[in-house]
Structures are given as C-alpha cells and as structure tokens.
Amino acid sequence: MTRLFGTVASFDRSVGLGIIDGEGKEFPFHATALANGTRDVAVGAHVSFTTVHASGGRLEAGDIAER
C-alpha cells in the first residue's frame, strides 16, 4: 500500500475528527486512525498515511503516523 505525506490542517479533539492536507488534496480522518494509539495529534504535525474508503466511497486518511 502506498504511503502519502501531508500536514494535519485541523483536528477537533472533542469529537476526534480532523483533516490532513496532503498531496494537493484534503483527507478527513478519525482519531482512531492514528497509528500511535494516542487519539491525539497536533495541528501542523507532518504525517504519513494511507487512504481508506469510508461510507459513500469517500477517501479518508488511515494508518496515520507522525514523521
């Protein structure tokens, strides 16, 4: 599986949802997709990630790891 690279553009800790700006696109993500298990990441963090298909066929970021 190909890993992409990006930056956490936003993250709302209270609901566990965020957006990664990567490869010229925005990828939404859930805190449960963070590979380190903390369910927390700083806005501005540089990350690598894969893409996964969410409901409705939308692409989301998965297996997110800080670089």
pLDDT (tens place) for every residue of the chain, 67 residues total: 799 999 999 999 999 999 999 989 999 999 999 999 999 999 999 999 999 998 888 999 999 999 9
C-alpha 13/C-alpha 5 separation (Å) is 22
Going along the chain from its start, the domains and CATH numbers come out as 4-66 (2.40.50.140)
Judge contact between 18 and 8, C-beta under 8 A.
yes
Q: What is the pTM of this model?
A: 0.92
Using CA atoms, how far residue 24 sits from 6, 13, 14, 15, 40, in Å, is 9, 24, 27, 25, 23
3-state DSSP call for residue 62?
A: strand
